[in-house]
Amino acid sequence: MVIRHASTEPGVGDPPGFRLEDCATQRNLSSAGREEAGRMRDAFRERGVPVGRVLSSRWCRCLDTARLAFGRVEPWPPLDSFFDAGMPVPR
C-alpha cells in the first residue's frame, strides 16, 4: 500500500535551500495534517488492519505522517521526492 503524506502548510514543494536533515527548512505537516494522520491510525486500529514494515521518503512531512499513523517508520531514499526534476536529489 502506498500512502501520501497528510496535509501540509500552504505551498508547493519545499522552500529554496531546504535541507533534509533540518525539518525547520521544509514544508511540514499542518495541524490538520497531524489530525489526519491520527485519524488514519485510529481507522487502521479500529478495523484491525495489520501494518507491517513502514517505509517513507526522508522528508519530514512524510516521516511525521508515518510516525503519527503507524508509530514507526524507516526512511528509504528510493521514495524521496523528485518534484523538481532539475534539482539534484539530496543525499
Question: What is this structure's pTM?
Answer: 0.86
**Residue 58 lies in domain:** 52-80
| Domain membership flag for residue 44 | no
Residue 91 lies in a domain: no
* Number of domains within the chain: 1
List % helix, strand, coil for the chain (3-state, nearest 5): 35, 10, 55
The 10 Å Cβ neighbour count of residue 20 is: 20
Task: Please check whether residue 60 lies inside any domain of the structure.
Answer: yes
Identify the three-state secondary structure at position 18.
coil
Residue that the C-alpha cell 539530496 belongs to: 90
Helix H or strand E segment including 74: strand 74-75
Name the stretches of the chain with pLDDT < 50. Answer: 85-86, 89, 91
Domain assignment present for residue 39? The answer is no
Q: Is 43 part of a structural domain of the chain?
A: no
Confidence (pLDDT) at 84: 57
pLDDT at 89: 46
